[in-house]
Every structure is written in structure tokens, then in C-alpha cells.
């Protein structure tokens, strides 16, 4: 039996367009003599469809789209079978009234063959808002050339049932355990599993456990592409019954491949990528797809000469091409000469455009207006925020005028403690590195300037003959340059210390006692906790943050603003 793994990048809500994409895949599968095409979870809708699933007209229209798709496939490609992920309507008076389902298209018709059992509600997931859980595992029989195969079908989370690996505790239902008595020949898992740090290894472990437990091969097909803040890495794979990977599709790219169940299941070499290169690939895809799916062709970046805006400029250039990236330098009287030079040198290495708008006169105008009209002398943080908001206003004006996507350049450390200005440097349509701590920004930039990144730079048509970020940018002390000789450490602990405490609080959910056991001083912990609480109202107004970690400060950070101190 020959399977065709189709790792697709759908557009959320574009049911007609996604159906056409599936039809194109059918053509490739047919030319490869495949028997069955496997597409990801909710492949007709794109994942996550969120409240689009509540639109009755969309739910209704999917059925006519499925009918047309079934007839087209049968007319063009005969007996080819295709799995498609849909939102199946339940005809009763209860809510939610949908199943997260898989249908099988064959012989000009379609039928439901699997429904999702375990509905995740952690991190960004909120599936119980839309779907009802199925009670029974799904097994279908497929006859090919006088041989009948029994296929167990699971949908994404249904595979994640080993608490020792995935760490979220015991589920009330265990589809993998329930499949044990079904004597299946093969386990399929159709997923829309977003990328986070170390997700590759976790998926492999989970699938390997299932393969060894059931003593059957596992085919795992994952969605690829970025939808809003989520990045789907693809990395679909096949594992043999001994738990060894025998094939893997591309990372962060649409891909498709044929595989025969009867061929010898030996371990083959894979193209391995490092964790740090995967982070870069994820961010590039995140920017590329966000721009494309939201209708932007170009990006605008406020370039300060610092490391954060430098990294975002590199990512944007890799994602959109140097001809579509525009930068603006907005120096004030506090900006150092070396920062201006560093910004100029960077754009030359990236071959992107840079315009300079001095804000000294605008700052003076603001200061004079307050003084003359209100007898109010702006000082300290008020003056610093005005400076940032002037820049933010200029950037938004240029973005509006030229129809650029304005990219926010703040990192996770700054966003966590509120070391950022609402309606200033937080302006933008997308926060590119908002889930990267400052120390990880440095790590990623060090990798970009190393020989280890040469192949990735070549792939993205970036400069390879010299360091792309540059030593001056990577080695300077972090500073927002909001005052004379101002440094980030004037307001914050060193990032090497701050980020450890932040990670303990945000990702690891540690309380004061556990953080003290890690060796951190009580007064410093309390200060950082207070800063996190104080900045909550800012984060609620931040642009979407590309998610990289198990706990970003975006949609999966659901902390109230007004809370007991």
C-alpha cells in the first residue's frame, strides 16, 4: 500500500483555496502511483480556525466543497483515496456542535472515518470551545491488491498520552492504549502541531513510544506554515515498528513524499538541523506567512543600531527579500555616533534601504509646547517615552503611507518587565522576537555570524562572505539610548541574571521559594515579579507575538491586569 504524505500550508478560512491545494496534491500523488493521500488535521480549514468555526455558513459550505472535491478527484484520478480534516457538524441541540474529524474521499464520495478524542485546552489551544470529544478510537480497513490493511487513525493530541514524555499528566482517555486490542497494521496521526523549542524531540519520542507499544509503523503528517502567532514546522515523518525514524519531510516548508508499507523499514540518514537554526527558520517563516496571508508585500523596521532591530532586519530580509525591506533611523541628541554607523553598515550588508529622520527638532517642539502651554517641564521617563512615541508615530505614518508591515523589534525580556513604551517601540503589526529572551537574541546573532550558519544564509540569499550582524552590534552593551550614556543595566539586572529569573517565573511557573532555592536573592525576585505585574496592561495591547516557547507572552499568557498585589 503506497501512501502519499502531503505536508500542506493552508490559509485559515479559505475552504475553496485549501480544497484546490488538496486537488493539486492529488495530481502529484496520482503521478507517483499512490493509493492513499494523507493531509493534516483540519486541512480544509487551516489550523487554528478559532471563531471562524462558529460561522454556520462556513460550516455548511464545506460540505458542498467536499462534494465537488470528491467528484473532481474521482474524475481525474480514479480510485485515489484522500484524507481531509474537517469540522463535522453534529445535528442536535447541544453546544459545541462540531467534531474535529477526518473524512476519507474515494470513488467520488466522502465519509467520516475518525474524530478527535483528546481536545487540548492548554497554552494556545482552546478546542473544547468548538469541538465535542469522540468516545471511541478509529480503525478502518483498506483493501489494496487483494490485501486488507487495518489502519488506526488518530488526530494530533490523541497521540500525546505518555505523561512521562509530554509531561501534562494522565488523560482520562487513552487512544493508543485502546488501539492495542484492535490488531492494526499501521498507525496514522494527522496533526496541526505548532513549533516550540525542542518540539521535534518530543514528537519523535511520543511517536516512537506508540510504535513500540503497538508494534506497528507510525506515519505522522503535520501542517506547515504560520498562522498569526503560531508557526507550524511540518517535519512529518515515518517511524518503523521498532521506534526508529525511517523518513522525515522538510522543516518549515511544504513537502510531499510517497512511502510503501511493504518496503523494508531501515533507518535512513536525515538532514539534521540544530535547535538554533530551527529558531531562525521558524521566525523567517513566521514573518513570510504573516505578511503574505495578511496582504503585505514589504516590511518597515525602526533601525537603532542595536542588536534587536538588527536581528529583525535580518529575519525580514530572509523572509521577504532585500528589495522589500525598508528601515528608518530616527536619531535624537542621545544617540551615539557608533549606533548610527552600525545601522548604516548593517543595511549595506543586507542590501536594504535606510532613511534617516532626525527627531531632535520634534523633541524640542514637544518640550516647548508643554512648557509654554502648561508650564510643564518634561523630564526623566516622561521625556524618554515621548522620544519613543515620536518614533512610533513616524513609523506608523510611513507604514500607512507605503502599505508596509511595521515589525516590532522588542524582545521577551523587555516585554516581560515593561521595558518598552506603549504606542512607541511597541507599535507594529507583528512582534517578531517577542518570545526570545535577550540572552537568546545574542545566541541567535552569534550563530548568524558564525560559519555554522553559512548554509542557511546561502539558502536565504544573505551575505556569507562577512559577519552579517557584525561584531560592533553584538559586542556593545545593551542600551535604548534614551538619555546621556544610558544603559539597560541602569534599570534592570544583567540579562544573564534577569532571563533566568524570568524563565523560572514565566515558563517554569516557580514561586518565590523555588526561585530562592535556585540561588536568586529575594528582593530581586520580588522586584521582577512586581515589574511583570505592572506591565500586564502593556502586553494586552502588544502586536501578535510569534510563538517559540511553551509559554509566550501572547495568546497563551492569560493573566488578568487588575489583580491582588
C-alpha cell at 554: 501572547
Nearest CA to 139 out of 173, 175, 86, 174 is that of 175
Nearest CA to 147 out of 98, 185, 195, 101 is that of 185
- Give DSSP secondary structure letters for 69-105: HHHHHHHHHTT-EEEEEEEEE--SS-SS-EEEEEEEE
Q: Which helix (H) or strand (E) holds 153?
A: strand 147-155
C-alpha cell at 503: 524563565
Within 8 A by CB and 6+ apart from 404, the residues are 296, 298, 299, 300, 326, 398
Q: Report angle CA 20, 291, 129 to the nearest 5 degrees.
A: 70
CB contact burial 515-547 (16+ within 10 A = b; e otherwise): beeeebeeeebeebbebbbebbebbeebbbbbb
Nearest CA to 279 out of 446, 42, 493 is that of 446
- Give DSSP secondary structure letters for 19-65: HHHHHHHHHHHHHTT-SEEE--TTTTT-S--GGGGG-HHHHHHHHHH
Query: What's the rounded Cα separation, in Å, for the pair 258 and 534?
Result: 53
Query: What's the rounded Cα separation, in Å, for the pair 342 and 260?
Result: 54
* Cβ count near 285 (within 10 Å): 26
Query: What's the rounded Cα separation, in Å, for the pair 529 and 508?
Result: 14
The residues facing 69 across adjacent strands are: none
Answer yes or no: are the C-beta atoms of 520 and 463 closer than 8 Å: no
Residues marked as catalytic: 41, 116, 156
Answer yes or no: are the C-beta atoms of 417 and 535 closer than 8 Å: yes
Query: What's the rounded Cα separation, in Å, for the pair 259 and 188?
Result: 13
The residues facing 98 across adjacent strands are: 89
C-alpha cell at 434: 517577542
- Give DSSP secondary structure letters for 345-377: HHHHHHT-EEEE---HHHHHHHHHHHHHHH---
Which residue is it, cell 490485501?
Answer: 147
Amino acid at each position: 500500500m503506497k501512501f502519499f504524505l502531503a505536508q500542506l500550508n493552508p490559509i485559515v478560512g479559505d475552504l475553496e483555496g485549501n480544497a484546490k491545494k488538496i486537488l493539486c496534491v492529488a495530481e502529484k500523488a496520482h503521478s507517483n502511483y499512490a493509493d492513499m493521500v494523507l493531509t493534516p488535521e483540519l486541512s480544509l480549514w487551516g489550523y487554528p480556525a478559532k471563531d471562524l468555526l462558529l460561522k454556520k455558513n462556513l460550516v455548511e459550505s464545506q460540505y458542498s466543497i467536499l462534494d465537488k472535491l470528491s467528484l473532481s478527484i474521482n474524475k481525474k484520478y480514479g480510485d485515489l483515496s484522500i484524507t481531509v480534516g474537517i469540522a463535522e457538524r453534529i445535528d442536535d441541540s447541544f453546544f459545541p456542535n462540531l467534531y474535529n474529524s477526518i473524512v476519507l474521499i474515494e470513488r467520488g464520495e466522502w465519509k467520516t472515518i475518525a474524530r478527535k478524542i483528546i481536545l487540548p485546552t492548554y497554552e494556545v489551544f482552546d478546542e473544547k470551545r468548538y469541538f465535542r470529544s469522540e468516545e471511541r478510537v478509529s480503525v478502518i480497513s483498506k483493501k489494496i491488491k487483494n490485501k486488507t490493511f487495518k489502519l488506526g487513525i488518530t488526530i494530533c493530541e490523541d497521540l500525546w498520552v505518555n505523561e512521562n514524555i509530554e509531561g501534562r499528566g494522565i488523560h482520562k482517555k487513552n487512544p493508543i492504549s485502546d488501539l492495542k486490542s484492535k490488531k492494526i497494521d499501521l498507525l496514522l496521526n494527522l496533526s496541526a502541531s505548532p513549533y516550540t523549542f525542542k518540539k521535534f524531540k518530543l514528537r519523535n519520542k511520543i511517536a516512537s513510544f506508540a510504535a513500540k507499544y503497538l508494534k506497528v509503523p507510525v506515519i505522522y503528517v503535520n501542517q506547515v506554515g504560520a498562522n498569526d502567532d503560531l508557526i507550524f514546522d511540518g517535519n512529518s515523518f515515518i517511524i518503523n515498528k521498532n521506534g526508529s525514524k525511517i523518513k522525515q519531510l522538510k522543516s518549515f516548508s511544504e513537502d510531499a513524499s510517497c512511502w510503501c508499507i511493504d518496503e523494508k523499514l531501515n533507518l535512513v540518514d536525515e538532514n539534521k538541523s540544530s535547535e538554533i537554526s530551527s529558531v531562525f527558520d521558524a521566525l523567517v517563516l513566521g514573518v513570510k506567512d504573516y505578511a503574505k496571508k495578511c496582504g503585505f508585500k514589504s516590511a518597515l523596521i525602526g533601525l537603532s543600531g542595536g542588536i534587536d532591530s538588527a536581528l529583525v532586519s535580518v529575519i525580514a530580509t530572509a523572509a521577504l527579500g532585500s528589495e522589500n525591506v525598508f528601515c528608518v533611523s530616527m536619531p535624537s541628541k542621545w544617540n551615539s555616533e557608533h549606533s548610527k554607523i552600525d545601522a548604516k553598515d548593517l543595511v549595506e550588508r543586507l542590501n536594504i534601504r535606510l532613511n534617516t529622520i532626525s527627531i531632535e527638532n520634534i523633541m524640542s517642539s514637544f518640550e516647548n509646547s508643554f512648557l509654554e502651554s502648561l508650564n510643564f517641564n518634561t523630564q526623566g521617563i516622561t521625556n524618554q517615552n515621548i522620544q519613543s512615541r515620536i518614533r512610533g508615530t513616524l513609523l506608523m505614518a510611513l507604514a500607512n503611507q507605503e502599505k508596509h508591515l511595521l515589525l516590532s523589534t522588542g524582545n521577551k525580556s523587555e516585554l516581560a518587565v515593561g521595558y518598552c513604551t506603549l504606542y512607541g517601540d511597541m507599535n507594529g503589526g507583528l512582534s517578531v522576537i517577542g518570545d526570545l529572551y535577550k540572552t537568546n537574541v545574542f545566541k541567535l546573532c552569534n550563530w548568524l555570524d558564525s560559519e555554522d550558519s553559512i548554509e542557511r544564509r546561502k539558502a536565504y540569499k544573505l551575505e556569507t562572505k562577512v559577519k552579517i550582524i557584525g561584531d560592533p552590534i553584538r559586542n556593545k552593551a545593551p542600551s535604548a539610548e534614551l538619555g546621556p550614556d544610558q544603559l539597560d543595566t541602569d534599570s534592570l539586572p544583567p540579562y544573564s541574571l534577569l532571563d533566568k529569573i524570568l524563565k523560572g517565573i514565566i515558563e517554569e511557573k516557580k514561586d518565590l521559594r523555588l526561585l530562592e532555592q535556585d540561588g536568586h536573592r529575594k528582593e530581586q525576585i520580588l522586584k521582577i515579579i512586581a515589574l511583570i505585574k505592572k506591565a500586564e496592561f502593556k502586553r494586552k495591547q502588544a502586536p501578535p507575538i510569534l510563538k517559540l516557547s511553551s509559554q509566550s507572552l501572547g495568546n497563551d499568557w492569560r493573566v488578568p491586569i487588575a489583580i491582588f498585589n
